[in-house]
Amino acid sequence: METLSKNKAFGGTQGVYRHTSTATQCDMTFGLFLPAEASDGPVPVLWYLSGLTCNHENAMTKAGAQTWAAEQGIALVFPDTSPRGEGVADDEAYDLGQGAGFYVDATQSPWAPHFNMWTYLADELPAVLGDQFAVDLNRQAITGHSMGGHGALTLAMGLPGRFRSVSAFAPISNPSASDWGRKQLTAYLGDDESNWANHDATLMMRKQGFDGPILVDTGTTDQFVDLLQPEAFAHAVAERRQEATLRLQDGYDHSYFFVSSFIEEHIAFHADALYRD
């Protein structure tokens, strides 16, 4: 583990760290905010998964989440969105390759050796955090934006019992039926669409749902709303009668101005679940 930076923030510490990953076979960088309470013992954890083109730094510097995490005594984890570096496959398009891991374990060439973000987030990085930092892995929640919202929803439903709550900002909700999804799922997982089902929040909601509360916000003027397909996820939630709050926020777009406007509510939502006995 290498410490790249450490800054005091809101009484706690915002750090950036790098480690060698077995899952992705390259060095991975992540941000971790620890509130002041972490000096006295393990604190609950909220994961924040970022969207296309982002790395660990975008939400860490733009969302304003540390303010509210410090108030609630919650750690924030900001993983990267994909493997990176020399020898890691990439694509000229912004929505495939480095910066666009889609939180899956790739099975297709040239992506399979490194693009194992599901295993990295489900297994490897939690183990690293539990070993190195004062975090309580029995109290975890997850959120994300856009591609990261897709990742948050699918990880929450795909790992039953792991997360107490899940939220998302403008998630890619039905990737197997969207141009933001079909391209990437084909590239990473192949042409057999049955292999996509465990990475589509709408299909997962219909099949298994989530054993906790869900909060999703999408802006009414989001420039990518036709690719996000919030209505598909809403229909699946209604069909399953899942505990969920799905909101359309008037006039908001897809930017971090949107995320930062509602991050306080999302962190309070997760704090309620994380501190519930």
Series of mean pLDDT values for 10-residue runs along the chain (277 residues): 97 98 98 98 98 98 98 98 96 97 98 98 98 98 98 98 98 96 97 97 98 98 97 98 97 98 98 94
254: annotated active-site residue: yes
Q: Which of 165, 222, 266, 270 is catalytic?
A: 222
Instruction: Supply 119's token pair.
Output: 């295993």
Residue carrying structure tokens 């690719």:
227
Instruction: Supply 48's token pair.
Output: 């924040």
Strands (E), the chain: 2-9, 12-21, 26-34, 43-49, 75-78, 135-144, 166-169, 214-219, 245-249
226: annotated active-site residue: no
Instruction: Supply 244's token pair.
Output: 């969920």
Instruction: Supply 136's token pair.
Output: 């309580």
If one counts every other C-beta atom within 10 angstroms of the C-beta of residue 5, the result is 9
Residue 265: predicted pLDDT? 98
222: annotated active-site residue: yes
Assess contact for 23 and 113: CB atoms under 8 A: no
Q: Which of 21, 82, 146, 167 is catalytic?
A: 146
Query: Does pTM top 0.85 for this prediction?
Result: yes
Assess contact for 78 and 51: CB atoms under 8 A: no
Q: Which of 56, 254, 266, 270 is catalytic?
A: 254
Q: How far apart are CA 1 and CA 56, in angstroms?
A: 16
> Is residue 198 packed enough to be buried (19+ CB in 10 Å), middle (13-18) or exposed (0-12)?
middle
Instruction: Supply 73's token pair.
Output: 């005594």
Residue 277: predicted pLDDT? 79
CATH number for the region 2-275 comes to 3.40.50.1820
Residue 165: predicted pLDDT? 98
